[in-house]
Chains A and B, each alone.
Chain A
Amino acid sequence: DAGVIQSPRHEVTEMGQEVTLRCKPISGHDYLFWYRQTMMRGLELLIYFNNNVPIDDSGMPEDRFSAKMPNASFSTLKIQPSEPRDSAVYFCASSRQTYEQYFGPGTRLTVT
């Protein structure tokens, strides 16, 4: 299997622009997680899905963030409008059980 695929790998955008991050989980994995990682705050869970249904979105910082999983092989995380404080590495992970998560390579987002 190719592992978890994320795109783009790097994104540089200006404040106020819309940003869409994409994730393809490993086939057969029922769980999908979106994380954000910064030096200051470490790894933070934003939202996770089970069988395409959002289970817990309490980590989503504010209404500017939204996530969707229209089918078992694709998910998006959208930020609109983006702000400089959103600059971070965003990881997508998938798993069969929640404890054995497989992470993608991450998207490094810079908002200027």
Chain B
Amino acid sequence: QKEVEQDPGPLSVPEGAIVSLNCTYSNSAFQYFMWYRQYSRKGPELLMYTYSSGNKEDGRFTAQVDKSSKYISLFIRDSQPSDSATYLCAMSRGSNYQLIWGAGTKLIIKP
């Protein structure tokens, strides 16, 4: 079993919908939780990160961490076609530890 599980999708939703992307993990030592976005033929870029538990909001994006359930989520409100990309979750035990990556979920926003 992988340390980080993420459904590869694709997930297809209409423009304007609320999108929910999720990852589960098994290592309770993880402290940093990241969401990266990768457009086709580009490198991943950091979207948001959360330290420990709780929520973090940035514009249309909200990241949630539930350490008791070992579950993290990324919500996208008012989704746009430009949000179509692959979203990768990543986690680490600390600021000096390597990231453990999910497989990535391909998101398609239909106009």
Residues of A within 8 A of B (CB): 4, 33, 42-43, 45, 48, 50, 56, 91, 93, 97-106
Contact = CB atoms under 8 A, between A and B. Distances in A.
Contacts, number: 51
B43 A106 contact: yes
A107 to B, nearest CB: 11
Given A42-B104, A99-B34, A48 B42 contact: no
Main secondary structure of the interface of B (DSSP, over half): loop
B42 A105 contact: yes
A97 B99 contact: no
Given A43-B44, A93-B43, A100 B101 contact: no
Main secondary structure of the interface of A (DSSP, over half): strand
B104 A45 contact: no
Give the 5 A-B residue pairs with the shortest CB-CB distance, closest first: A103-B43, A97-B95, A99-B32, A42-B103, A43-B101
A33 B88 CA distance: 17
Interface in B66-111: 88, 90, 92, 94-99, 101, 103-104
